[in-house]
Amino acid sequence: MKILAIGSLVLLPLVLSAQPSRLATEVSKLSQAPLVIEKTAATHVLSEADELARLQAIEGRRLPIQQAPLGDAITVIATSAEMNFVAPPPSEFPETISLNFQGNPYELLQILGDQYRFTMTYRRGVWVFNRESAGALIGKVYRLKHSNLESVSKGRPEHGRDFWA
């Protein structure tokens, strides 16, 4: 049987096809398991566009997750999508979630990212999951269709005069 290691989690193929109650049991057992490293042949690092195309082409899968920390759920979903990733820190993803999803695992990660406010960044062939800063400002550019900036007068307005010429 092939064992795949990611961080401190060791995921067996049976975890992805397990019954919902058994999945939670297997994931909790696996989080206690030692790290196992398997040698593989060197792979070519895909560009971001190629990686996104690969992820969007993945056929639908059934992903039942019951009462699991969000960080563990992200790890299981990213593994099912065969993504190279850095596991999210448990302290930043403490929420407990349950879901029963049939579809593309990458789309599920996008849905969870929107719902629980985390980002997925692809850097040099590896996905990194981070929390969005709660007070961060998000820049947005708006294009004005109609403006009357040419009618604005410069200088200090006089009392009783309008800014607009």
What does the pLDDT look like over 1-38, one tens digit per residue? Answer: 344 444 444 443 444 444 555 655 665 665 565 555 56
Out of 9-13, 38-42, 154-158, which region has the weakest mean confidence (pLDDT)?
Answer: 9-13
pLDDT in tens, 123-137: 999 999 998 765 566
Question: What is the mean predicted confidence (pLDDT) over 128-153?
Answer: 73
Residue pLDDT, tens place only, 48-106: 999 999 999 999 999 999 999 999 999 999 999 999 999 888 889 999 999 999 999 99
Q: What's the pLDDT score for residue 139?
A: 73
* Model confidence pTM above 0.85: no
Domains of the chain (ranges; CATH) run 4-131 (3.55.50.30)
Instruction: Tell me, letter by letter, the H, E, C secondary structure of the chain.
Output: CCCEEECCEEECHHHHCCCHHHHHHHHHHHCCCCCCCCCCCCCCCCCHHHHHHHHHCCCCEEEEEEEEEHHHHHHHHHHHCCCCEECCCHHHCCCEEEEEEEECHHHHHHHHHHHHCEEEEEECCEEEEEECCCCCCCCCCCCCCCCCHHHECCCCCCCCCCCEC
Taking 80 as the threshold, does the pLDDT of residue 138 lie above it? no
Over residues 25-35, the pLDDT tens digits come to 665 665 565 55
User: Is the pLDDT higher at 27 or at 139?
Assistant: 139
